Each structure stands twice: as structure tokens, then as C-alpha cells.
Amino acid sequence: MTLLVYNIGQLATAQGQTSPMKGEVMSQITTMENAAVAIEGKTFSSIGSSEDLLAEFRGSDAKLLDAGGMGVIPGLVDPHTHLIFSGSREFELRLKLEGKSYMDILNAGGGIIHTVSRTRAASAEQLSNEAKQRLNRMLMYGTTTADAKSGYGLDTETEIRSLEVIRDLEHPIELTPTFLGAHAVPPEFKGDPSGYIDHIISDMLPMVAERGLAQYCDVFCEEGVFGVEDSERLLTAAKEHGLKLRAHIDEIVDLGGAQMAAQLGCETTEHLAVTGDEGIAQMAEAGTVGNLLPGTPYSLMSPIYPRARDMIEANFPIALATDMNPNCYTESMQFVMSLGCYMMKMTPAEVLAASTYNAACAVGMEDTVGTIERGKLADLVILDVPTHEHIPYHFGVNHVRQVIKAGEQVVKDGLPCYNG
């Protein structure tokens, strides 16, 4: 069965890339006016002018979807979400306004630790229902592929339960599971981060790996959480178990995490708000992708955003992600793209590359998603604006009208419409 999306005012996508886009290549977004795409089953079968493809399929039983002269982009990829948690932390907004820092709140038993107690008390069904609501919002905002982390259990039982929920979720958004047992030091190990890392290495990691519950292992390497030595010990063990590596580094304090990540061969590094020139150069050299999360400084009320322009100039490939979590609570890649332009001085073409192809690289799925190209999974978004440039420009609203995931329409007129 063919699905023909026609009357596309402007199709915008990266094309022909074989490795993460960096430097000037990040601006190389191909645009096509008056375009159409044909989808055969789950994949794109051809891309051409609307006129040509309509003529080709005239008289056939192809299903037609009119893009209404509006813009079309690849399905967005969100390569960093803390999908699995219970509850919310709206009360922290007041604490932040009173001048409390992220670490003040965490050290007082709030922050991640507050969410851990809620998550431990939640059943798998509850966690799954909450995650589905977030996934539906992500889908309505154009995300079709995402990373999903555990990390609010911090004990073997709840970390495993969280990863099992990710595995068992039935939802159109394709997820890559990340084990983040080292997200914070749990109350049982208060004051003993190394002891907790030992526990993860001896108890959790073997179980996670044996059961195939995660593709990646992540760690929150930060002053007052896990130092470089403990982070390195954990990631080295994870690598031995065959997991790919990520690391939250340089969110608040630069501990030298970039060098560690470069040496260990981390696939991605996360945050990078305070990374210096040396760290940028080390990661560029190592072939790591930097996942920039500008929603986090926004939610922390911090003026310090990652130095995206310097990173692009240094040929360090960067992706954008929401960091969706109870501190930085947004499912919207569109908002993040806007922050990319307004707060980090990226161009609209660069934020599109960072939210599609490079983000696909950051979840290890660049061969199947992230661009509109023949043979790739047919993931696309029909906008309510004529070009992709309107997404970052016209912020705080949802520009997504229709979403196709693997050839199936999953959002219709702005609302989820998938089966199941």
C-alpha cells in the first residue's frame, strides 16, 4: 500500500550524510519546494515534485495525504529524556524563585531524591501510564524516536522495573533504553557515592546487561554527585558488559568529564553547559556527539547555556534534546529548537540538523531515521507553517498538524490517532 504525501510547500531535510554533521556541514539542509513523498509500507520509496508524483500515482490505489502547501520535516528525534518517573515537582519553582540552587534542593532531600521516593512507590502500570501521557505529548509535538532513561529508582528493583516499563511500552515512538542507575546517591548510600557505584557494578549492571534491558549506560558526573573516578569506574564496567556509553557532564561544574568521556569513547555527552575549549576539542577529536539541553539552564534560571557556536566552529557535532524530567519538564523539541536559536545563536538549519540527523546519530539510529530519504523509515511531520524556519521563530506554540511514523499516520489534525 502506497501513501502519497503531496502538496508540500517546502520539504526540509538533511540528505546523504554518513556521520554526525559538524562545522559548516550542520547548515546543509536540503529544501525542496512543491514536493511530494511516496511511502511504501514502512519506508520512503520516492521523493520528488508534487506534480510528478501525483502523475505517477494517478489511477493507482495510493492513499493521498494533502500537506496543504505547508512545510514538512523528518520526524524529530529526542536523544535525551528521563521518561520514567512518577509525579512532578511544580513546588520547586517557588524554591528556585527564592534563590535556591539545584544542588541546595537536591542536598535537602528534594530534586531527584523526591522523585525517587515517588517512583519507588509506583507500580509498573502506573509508571507506564505516566510515561504514555508524556509520549503522547512528545508525539503531538513531532517526536517519533527518543532515548528513554531509568534513574529514579536507584535500587535494583526499581531500576529494573523502570527499564522493563520502557521495554514493554506500546507506543509509536521508538525508544532506545538507557540505564541511569548512577543518577544520584540514594539515601541508603548517603555520603558514600563510591559504595553506591560498587553496588551498581556488582548488582545492577550484570542484571541489566544479562536481560538486555539497556543499550546505553549513563552517569551524572557532577560535583556533589559522582566524581570523575567513580564515573569512569562505572562506565568502564558498563563497556565490559557490552553497553554503549553516555555521560552527563559539565552541567554545573567542569570536573574534567569531557576528557574522561573522550578517553572512554562515550557515544554521547550530555549538557556541556560549562565545558571549556579543551573539553570541546577533546570530544571533537574523539568523535563523541554532544547532546545540548538548553531547556535545563532555562528551567534552572541560569544564564549559562552551552557554547554551541564555539562547538560548531570546533567541528564538534552537536544534537539537541529536551532532557525531559521533573526539573526541566517539557516534551517539546520545538521549544528546544527555539532555545537553540534564541539562546545559543544556532541557525534554523543547524537546529533542524541537531534535532533530526544528529539526534538520530545520538541514539545510534542514523541508518534508519532522522532524514527523509529513500529507504529510510517513513517518519515525517507536516507543519502548520510553510517552512521549518517558523519552528524556532514562532515559539511557545505547537506547529505540528500530522505525524507519520514508519508509514502510519499517528497524529491527525494535532491529536494522536494511532491504534492501541
Residue numbers of the site for Fe ion (CB under 5 A)?
323
Q: Applying CB under 6 A, does 355 fall inside the site for ligand NIG?
A: no
Q: Applying CB under 6 A, does 251 fall inside the site for ligand NIG?
A: yes
Task: Give whichever of 130 and 389 is closer to ligand NIG, judged by the CB atom.
Answer: 130
Q: Applying CB under 6 A, does 288 fall inside the site for ligand NIG?
A: no
Which does residue 251 touch among Fe ion, ligand NIG, none (CB within 5 to 8 A, set by kind)? ligand NIG
Paired sense of beta strands 408-412 and 400-405, if any: antiparallel
Q: Applying CB under 6 A, does 2 fall inside the site for ligand NIG?
A: no
Q: Applying CB under 6 A, does 111 fall inside the site for ligand NIG?
A: yes
Task: Give whichever of 53 and 113 is closer to ligand NIG, judged by the CB atom.
Answer: 113
Task: Give whichever of 235 and 328 is closer to ligand NIG, judged by the CB atom.
Answer: 328
Find the shortest distance in angstroms from Cβ 295 to ligand NIG.
Answer: 9
Find the shortest distance in angstroms from Cβ 23 to ligand NIG.
Answer: 27
Q: What nine digits make up the cell of 399?
A: 506547529
In this chain, which of 74, 172, 306, 326 binds ligand NIG, going by CB under 6 A?
Answer: 326
Which does residue 326 touch among ligand NIG, Fe ion, none (CB within 5 to 8 A, set by kind)? ligand NIG
Q: What nine digits make up the cell of 320?
A: 539537541
Task: Give whichever of 17 and 327 is closer to Fe ion, judged by the CB atom.
Answer: 327
Q: Tell me the window of 63-71, 109-117, 259-267, 281-289 that interacts with ligand NIG (CB under 6 A).
A: 109-117
Nearest to 246, CA basis, from 225, 270, 224, 278: 270
Paired sense of beta strands 2-13 and 30-40, if any: antiparallel
Q: Applying CB under 6 A, does 158 fall inside the site for ligand NIG?
A: no
Amino acid at 201: I
In this chain, which of 136, 269, 282, 325 binds ligand NIG, going by CB under 6 A?
Answer: 325
Q: Applying CB under 6 A, does 328 fall inside the site for ligand NIG?
A: yes
In this chain, which of 47, 83, 112, 380 binds ligand NIG, going by CB under 6 A?
Answer: 112
Task: Give whichever of 7 and 325 is closer to ligand NIG, judged by the CB atom.
Answer: 325
Task: Give whichever of 74 and 295 is closer to ligand NIG, judged by the CB atom.
Answer: 295
Find the shortest distance in angstroms from Cβ 222 to ligand NIG.
Answer: 7
Size of the site for ligand NIG (CB under 6 A): 13
Q: What is the 3-state secondary structure (H, E, C) of the chain?
A: CEEEEEEEEEEEECCCCCCCCCHHHHHCCEEEEEEEEEEECCEEEEEEEHHHHHHHHCCCCCEEEECCCCEEEECEEECCECCCCCCCCCCHHHHHHCCCCHHHHHHCCCCHHHHHHHHHCCCHHHHHHHHHHHHHHHHHCCEEEEEEECCCCCCHHHHHHHHHHHHHCCCCCEEEEEEEEECCCCHHHCCCHHHHHHHHHHHHHHHHHHCCCCCEEEEEECCCCECHHHHHHHHHHHHHCCCEEEEEECCCCCCCHHHHHHHHCCCEEEECCCCCHHHHHHHHHHCCEEEECCHHHHHHCCCCCCCHHHHHHCCCCEEECCCECCCCCCCCHHHHHHHHHHHHCCCHHHHHHHHCHHHHHHCCCCCCCCCCCCCCECCEEEECCCCCCHHHHCCCCCCEEEEEECCEEEEECCEECCCC
Q: Applying CB under 6 A, does 323 fall inside the site for ligand NIG?
A: yes
Q: Which residues from 47-106 bind ligand NIG, rule CB under 6 A?
A: 82
Question: With contact defined as beta carbons under 8 Å apart, do 313 and 382 qualify?
Answer: no
Task: Give whichever of 17 and 291 is closer to ligand NIG, judged by the CB atom.
Answer: 291
Which does residue 114 touch among ligand NIG, Fe ion, none (CB within 5 to 8 A, set by kind)? none
Q: Applying CB under 6 A, does 226 fall inside the site for ligand NIG?
A: no
Q: Applying CB under 6 A, does 149 fall inside the site for ligand NIG?
A: no
Q: Applying CB under 6 A, does 296 fall inside the site for ligand NIG?
A: yes
Find the shortest distance in angstroms from Cβ 66 to ligand NIG.
Answer: 40
Question: With contact defined as beta carbons under 8 Å apart, do 294 and 103 qualify?
Answer: no
Find the shortest distance in angstroms from Cβ 115 to ligand NIG.
Answer: 5
Question: With contact defined as beta carbons under 8 Å apart, do 396 and 410 qualify?
Answer: no
Q: Tell me the window of 41-49, 53-61, 326-334, 345-353 that interacts with ligand NIG (CB under 6 A).
A: 326-334
Phi-psi region of 231 (alpha: psi -120 to 50; beta: other; left: phi over 0): alpha
Q: Tell me the window of 13-21, 28-36, 319-327, 400-408 that interacts with ligand NIG (CB under 6 A).
A: 319-327
**What residues make contact with ligand NIG under the rule CB under 6 A?**
82, 111-112, 115, 220, 248, 251, 296, 323, 325-328
